[in-house]
Structure 1
Amino acid sequence: MVNRQKKQTAIARSGGNPLSVDRSLDDSSFFISETSKYTTETARDLLKKAFKIHQLSRRRIAAAVERGAELANVRYGTRGKFSQLDLILIFYAFCTVLDPPANVPLADDLVKPCATPRSDVFNMYNQVQNEFKALKHGDSRPNVSKLATDEEMNFIRFQIKDPVIMECMKDKLVYTSSEDGYSMQTLLSRLRAHQAKINRPEHIILMSTLSGKGLFGAYVTSYWDSSHRTYYGDTMTVLFRLRPGPMEAYPYLGSKEKRFQLCRNGEMGIGGGIDSGPCGLFFDKDMKFGQSGPSLTFNSKCLVTAPEDKLGPGHVGGREDLEFCYFKIGVIEVISFVDEVDWNAVGKK
């Protein structure tokens, strides 16, 4: 990973003591100091270069780290830990993807997972990944929703598995019925115009009940297309309920039922219902009333749980555990995404 000449140079710089090169990773200042000797670029500069690589993702970096671990073991026979210099490349690989904010200690949160025995590398990587993601997307990703709290939006983002969206894009409020009017035509026209700009279909639909007690929705990963005569869509779609708590998410878990989206007669549905029951989430073109029932696609229950929100509740096939209901819609929001980086400026500084 780092050639022998560089290692010898580092030993010379350290006063001829090879042990100082392989010093413990707990010495963060030493690590940063040694790293700086081999590159004049900052993590942000490297990040801009990394963005030139299409579909760059944590998954690819994780694969690169695994390959690097194998090479290090072959070259240096280091199974307990890697040398300090071996980790420099891994360190900057993580920096290029994660772009850490000022409040995240780099050596602790990025490098340490790679310094453990090889069998534990990815266990620890996964452990810190969620914590790091929360730090990364806290202050740097403002909440654009007027319905959901910061905590609720973070819960929704956690359900999004697309690395490009999570690492390279920020949220954008595309439509809200309280300001843009209760019109399905307006919702779709605004959403489609934005999707054409970013060339991506993904978006979040948030819906409150008229009482304000209920808040639920879906993360949708396909375009709304009325040319489909039946259900269509993608397995990355997720239904969720935020209020009343506790918050619940219903991702697709491999069911034989793959009925994700329905767009017909100006109406929208997500998650095919059971037998003749309603969708997991459905609302009409007037945006006054919605329906929710259990869906086999997401193994989800009725999203409406506040008693005062339920209108005409019933049970599919007379089964008490398969409740569905109508509800009055309060406000509908559509949140999409936009590039977090000015692509035209990348690499120009």
Structure 2
Amino acid sequence: MSRYTLEVDLGDRSYPIHIGEGLLSQADLFKPHVAGKVAMICTNTTVGPLYADRLKTSLLDAGAKSVFTVSLPDGEEYKDWPNLQLVFDALLQNHCDRKTVLVALGGGVVGDMGGFAASAFMRGIPFIQVPTTLLSQVDSSVGGKTGINHPLGKNMIGAFYQPEMVVTDISTLNTLPDRELSCGLAEIIKHGAIADTAYLDLVEQNMPALLRRDPELLALVVKRSCEIKADVVSKDEREGGIRAILNFGHTFGHAIEAGMGYGQWYHGEAVGCGMVVAAELCRRMGRLSAEEAARLKKVVVDARLPVIPPVLGVDKYMALMAHDKKADSGSIKYVLLNGLGRASTSPADEALVRQTLLEMGAGD
């Protein structure tokens, strides 16, 4: 099978992304980062029993002095301060120091929490991302965003902190539930919609094979999504400008997640639906044709993702979006499409946003 290595170009914080099958068992990838050091695997109760032992063996074979594991409860609803403390507890109880390497093994929640813990423990220790879900492989493991949720907003507490490397083992997708595979496809669709219509064509035409988990195709789309995100991140690491386009669908999506209660809708489901709402708003603003909006909606449907926003009430949507990280002094900035493949940030007329939500079934 094809194996790829990409570079996220951030000067002295640059790092590689390795993509392929069976990489968890390749000690040579880990050796430059863990030899002679203590390593802690941060995982969860679902992924740990499947892959932690294999990763531990590789880390020891790579020359780690010792390896121990902390396992967190599985789910977005546990991405909070009390569970983050479990990581700090393990680091302190095992007498870790600044040379300890934290290895985040799991999906986006584990990666975000492990990375945030690494950024804060002793003011920063090295960490490695080993994403095991399609969503984390194409999105959260790349770019250095780490953090936890707050009841009033998603990812509101965190830090920008880059990993030493990302090891993306496509084989881990064999144990991924179908629902979570679809969540990863949401972010893949997003990358095509904001930056690369040829990539969107590829995803659209090969959706059945992606749902069947064709390994060569999955490796290819993970590679292309990582290329798109890495290119944007290298130009705007801390989201002061162009990086915001990566949040297409997320303003509405984060409101869905917070409004429903974290874990009720998965992140990818909320983003998929959020993209459809955003596309409809773009159509009403004259930025997208009806055909383009309908095409994007169909791709989301084909990925087995929801396209009708939950009934939260329009006022609640507006209040939650005003708390989003992308809001500026309470003014909501939306990521909008200027035709498929071209995205930008912009305010939108509140009355039109409200009308769009109302007519899409989000409530009164």
* TM-score with structure 2 setting the length: 0.29
Greater gyration radius:
1
Tell me which protein shows more helix as a share of its residues. 2
